[in-house]
């Protein structure tokens, strides 16, 4: 069940160092990369159906094709390493154990979109990982794998590491770009038609760390090698995280389409302490919660999770056992989301705090049934009335928790 594509070198001692990385296949894709035209590389990624692994699952090739073919402006690649979603810690593994894989992916991607300057935007709290990536970048420059003549192939590429200031909202690509430009990390209004992102008015591709780290395998081995894994609509693999009440928490690279229950029981070793499974948050904290009896037939791919009323997201599964109070779990999340709302949109700024306050009232024993209806009314205010998807996602969380575990909320609302 476990596959080793992105995670191939994770268990090799000192694989983060260039000499060890080179001995274990890193930068092996460059020979084939530079034998192809930029368009041929995009076509190969397009054929592979590689999907973005930062949460949305959009086709990577389609995103790359938004860059104008004839462009008199500089083109940029921005790697989203702002891994701030609770329950998500997969990109951290790449940054720690195989940063040269990320750099190799940046080279492949930059060549494909004709970019000569790439940025890695990394979560501010990732101090250790930022230092490790910067060390790998420095090694790559010294070895002429970055700079004016990448690998001796005549292509120029510079890579800059930029640390964020610890704002969850900067994981949203347009807020990330605003931050990278030196402005407040506020999401931008979405364009009416499909177009690339813009960095200082220049066309830009923004991709997640794991997405970029998946590119070298496809370039070196071809799209068909990637299509051999996963499902028809969700091909390839993903780094899935297991956390919470699980015997063997950690990151496991699996093909899309494996059964969720098998991953929890066989790979994760089952629920911690032999307790009963109560619920799973399947794709990071901002995905809809699933009850234990809902996950029997669910497979880990975008389509199956959507059909069952949730999202694959970042693949970070948070396992909850029978001892968990769902209202308390929801309060925990809303404290986080209330704090992390950027405040740009009034419904989100006020609504997240409102729900957080009402949940506190309920947990203090002063709640009423009307309070639950007020929360659901606030969700209507949050949904579809803001610039980015932060507020709608928070609304979906509240609705799913209350709908699926209504009796627990009702039991706490004793004042009428």
Instruction: With CA atoms as reference, report the closest residue to 217 among 50, 11, 37, 39.
Output: 50
Structure-token pair, residue 109: 């991607």
Identical topology for domains 18-227 and 237-321: no
Domain 326-412 matching CATH 1.20.1440.230: the answer reads yes
What does the pLDDT read at residue 1? 83
pLDDT band at 416 (very low <50, low <70, confident <90, very high): low
Phi, psi of 51 (to 5 degrees): -110, 150
What does the pLDDT read at residue 192? 85
pLDDT tens column, 306-350? 999 999 999 999 999 999 999 999 999 999 999 999 999 999 999
CB 318 within 8 A of CB 245: no
Structure-token pair, residue 24: 């274990």
Domains of the chain, by residue range, sit at 18-227, 237-321, 326-412
237-321: which CATH topology? Ubiquitin-like (UB roll) (3.10.20)
CATH assignment, 18-227: 3.40.50.11540
Helix (H) or strand (E) segment spanning residue 279:
strand 277-281
pLDDT at 53 exceeding the cut of 70:
yes
CB 52 within 8 A of CB 58: yes
Instruction: With CA atoms as reference, report the closest residue to 363 among 338, 329, 397, 400.
Output: 329
pLDDT at 69 exceeding the cut of 90:
no
Let me know the angle formed at the C-alpha of 379 by 328 and 304, rounded to the nearest 5 degrees.
Answer: 80
Structure-token pair, residue 378: 């606030």
Average pLDDT score over residue span 351-372: 96
CB under 8 A, 24+ apart: contacts of 123-129 = 123/81, 123/82, 123/83, 123/84, 123/163, 123/164, 123/166, 124/163, 124/164, 124/165, 124/166, 124/167, 125/166, 126/81, 126/83, 126/92, 126/95, 126/163, 128/96, 129/92, 129/95, 129/96
Q: CA-to-CA distance for 98 and 251, rounded, in angstroms? A: 14
């Amino acid at each position: 069940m476990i596959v080793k594509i992105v995670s191939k070198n994770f268990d090799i001692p000192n694989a983060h160092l260039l000499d060890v990385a080179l001995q274990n296949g890193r930068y092996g894709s460059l020979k084939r990369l530079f034998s192809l035209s930029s368009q041929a590389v995009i076509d190969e990624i397009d054929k592979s159906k590689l999907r973005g692994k930062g949460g949305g699952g959009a086709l990577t090739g389609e995103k790359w094709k938004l860059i104008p073919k004839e462009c008199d402006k500089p083109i940029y690649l921005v790697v989203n390493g702002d891994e701030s979603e609770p329950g998500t810690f997969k990109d951290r593994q790449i940054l720690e154990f195989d940063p040269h894989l990320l750099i190799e992916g940046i080279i492949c991607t930059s060549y494909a979109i004709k970019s000569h300057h790439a940025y890695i935007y990394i979560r501010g709290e990732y101090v250790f990982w930022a230092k490790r990536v910067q060390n790998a970048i420095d090694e790559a420059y010294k070895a002429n794998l970055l700079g004016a003549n990448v690998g001796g192939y005549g292509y120029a590429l510079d890579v800059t590491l930029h640390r964020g200031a610890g704002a969850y909202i900067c994981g949203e690509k347009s807020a990330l770009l605003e931050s990278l430009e030196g402005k407040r990390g506020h999401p931008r209004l979405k364009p009416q038609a499909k177009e690339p992102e813009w960095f200082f008015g220049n066309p830009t591709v923004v991709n997640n760390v794991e997405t970029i780290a998946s590119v070298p395998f496809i370039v070196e081995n071809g799209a068909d090698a990637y299509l051999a894994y996963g499902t028809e609509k969700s091909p390839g693999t993903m780094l899935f995280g297991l956390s919470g009440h699980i015997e063997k928490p950690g990151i496991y690279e699996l093909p899309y389409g494996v059964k969720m229950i098998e991953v929890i029981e066989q790979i994760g070793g089952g629920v911690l302490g032999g307790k009963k499974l109560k619920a799973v948050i399947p794709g990071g904290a901002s995905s809809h919660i699933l009850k234990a009896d809902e996950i029997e037939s669910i497979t880990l791919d975008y389509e199956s999770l959507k059909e069952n009323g949730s999202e694959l997201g970042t693949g970070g599964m948070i396992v909850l056992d029978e001892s968990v109070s769902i209202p308390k779990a929801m309060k925990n999340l809303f404290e986080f989301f209330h704090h992390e709302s950027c405040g740009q949109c009034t419904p989100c700024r006020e609504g997240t705090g409102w729900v957080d306050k009402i949940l506190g009232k309920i947990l203090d024993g002063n709640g009423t049934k009307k309070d639950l209806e007020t929360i659901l009314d606030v969700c209507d205010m949050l949904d579809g009335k803001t610039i980015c998807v932060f507020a709608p996602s928070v609304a979906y969380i509240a609705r799913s928790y209350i709908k699926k575990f209504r009796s627990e909320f009702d039991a706490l609302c004793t004042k009428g």
